[in-house]
Amino acid sequence: MKFIDEATVELHAGKGGDGSASFRREKFVPRGGPDGGDGGRGGSLFAIADRNINTLVDYRFARIHRAKNGAAGRGADCNGKSADDVILRVPVGTVITDFETGETITDLATHEQKALLAKGGDRGLGNLNFKSSTNRAPRQFTRGMHGESRKLKFELKVLADVGLLGMPNAGKSTFIRAVSAARPKVADYPFTTLHPNLGVVRVDNNRSFVIADIPGLIEGAAEGAGLGHQFLRHLARTRLLLHIIDIAPFDENTDPVSEARAIVNELKKYDETLYDKPRWVVLNKADLMAPEAQAKRVQQFLAGFGWHDKSFIISALSGEGCKELTFAIMQHLDVTRDTATVQSEDAEPGSRLMNSNS
């Protein structure tokens, strides 16, 4: 299935049904009085996150969604039927924004999370509601209200713990194949993945994490070169970035340091928050060099790149170093998860105290 990660839709909620101006007319009841019923409520449109859906492809082709109008009220105190609501099921991780203003309406990050997108119109009132001691034969009634109409943008940000960065042909797809059951396309010629791939890395029976491989970046992506920045949104929810670098490029004129710096610059242009995420350097294709040449090349790269944080040397093709890397990732995720839990627990007493003082 083609991966669709954004779509623009028009939503039109239903109009409320009009109230009725009716009077009771029965034999032997000369003064029956008003009996006009209320109209029905117009249908609303909701979005629900569904973990069984992977893409927004349904909304790429079905762009307009309408809810039905409520039925009008009738005599004999009969209220009109309310229209059914329309449910739009979207993948978990979908962010919905207003197309005109860019305002975020909801972020559906958990399964079965529900959000109101367009509210149906309120019902009209029948003349029965206007009866009083001074107005015994009211002819007033109200019309149903129009429902909301909105143009929204659906944007999918995949839920992954770890994201892969790198130039095309750096070996990201080979790496995700080596550590998970994901099977993106790989080949012995230069090309780039055209859509994100997710893989579950199982470290042991009870511990695992999700890794996301996005299409490779190239210099000038901020200006629209290559696939541009359109897939970097999928790294927004990650807790760790792996910068995959081809340490043994086929072209001898290719400088790994320059390519690595280009990736970092593009990341900073796209989003400072993403740029500030924890990032590890992973030097790939170590199997293409002798051990002596490998150590020298790695030292030259780290010195030229000015990198003093965590770095790993692997061969995604042979699996060398991949197991050690996945264990280090799992340990990092466990530590960050525990830290976040402690911080949230420490924040709770203060918030409760503030509420009690207020």
Residues paired with residue 90 on neighbouring β-strands, in sequence order: 49
pLDDT at 73: 93
pLDDT at 281: 93
Q: From 202, 193, 185, 173, select the one nearest 317 (Cα to Cα).
A: 173
pLDDT in tens, the chain (358 residues): 345 678 899 999 999 999 999 998 888 877 788 999 999 999 999 999 998 887 888 888 889 999 999 999 998 889 999 999 999 999 888 999 999 998 999 999 889 999 999 999 999 999 989 998 888 889 999 999 999 999 999 988 877 888 888 887 788 888 888 888 767 655 454 445 556 777 888 888 778 888 888 765 655 544 554 444 556 777 777 889 999 998 888 777 888 898 889 888 888 887 788 888 899 999 998 888 888 888 888 888 999 998 888 889 999 888 899 999 999 999 998 888 766 555 545 555 443 333 333 3
pLDDT at 118: 95
Do the Cβ atoms of 297 and 245 come closer than 8 Å?
A: no
Please check whether the two domains, 6-24+33-156 and 162-342, share a CATH topology: no
pLDDT at 189: 45
Do the Cβ atoms of 281 and 321 come closer than 8 Å?
A: no
pTM: 0.66
pLDDT at 345: 54
The CATH code of domain 6-24+33-156 reads 2.70.210.12
pLDDT at 125: 94
Q: How many CB atoms lie within 10 A of CB 138?
A: 18
Three-state secondary structure string covering the chain: CCCCCEEEEEEECCCCCCCCCCECCECCECCCCECCCCCCCCCCEEEEEECCCCCCHHHHHCCEEECCCCCCCECCCECCCCCCCEEEEEECCEEEEECCCCCEEEEECCCCCEEEEECCCCCCCCHHHHCCCCCCCCCCCCCCCCCCEEEEEEEECCCCCEEEECCCCCCHHHHHHHHCCCCCCCCCCCCCCCCCEEEEEECCCCCEEEEEECCCCCCCHHHCCCCCCCCHHHHCCCCEEEEEEECCCCCCCCCHHHHHHHHHHHHHHHCHHHHCCCEEEEEECHHHCCHHHHHHHHHHHHHHHCCCCCEEECECCCCECHHHHHHHHHHHHHHHHHHHHHHHHHHHHHHHHHHHHC
Structure tokens at 204: 């042991």
Chain centre distance of CA 90: 9
Domain boundaries, the chain: 6-24+33-156, 162-342
Intra-chain end-to-end CA distance of the chain, in Å: 54
The β-bridge relationship of strands 104-108 and 94-98 is: antiparallel
CATH label, 162-342, candidates 3.30.2310.20, 3.40.50.300, 3.40.50.720, 3.40.50.2300: 3.40.50.300
Q: From 122, 125, 90, select the one nearest 19 (Cα to Cα).
A: 125
Structure tokens at 68: 């039905």
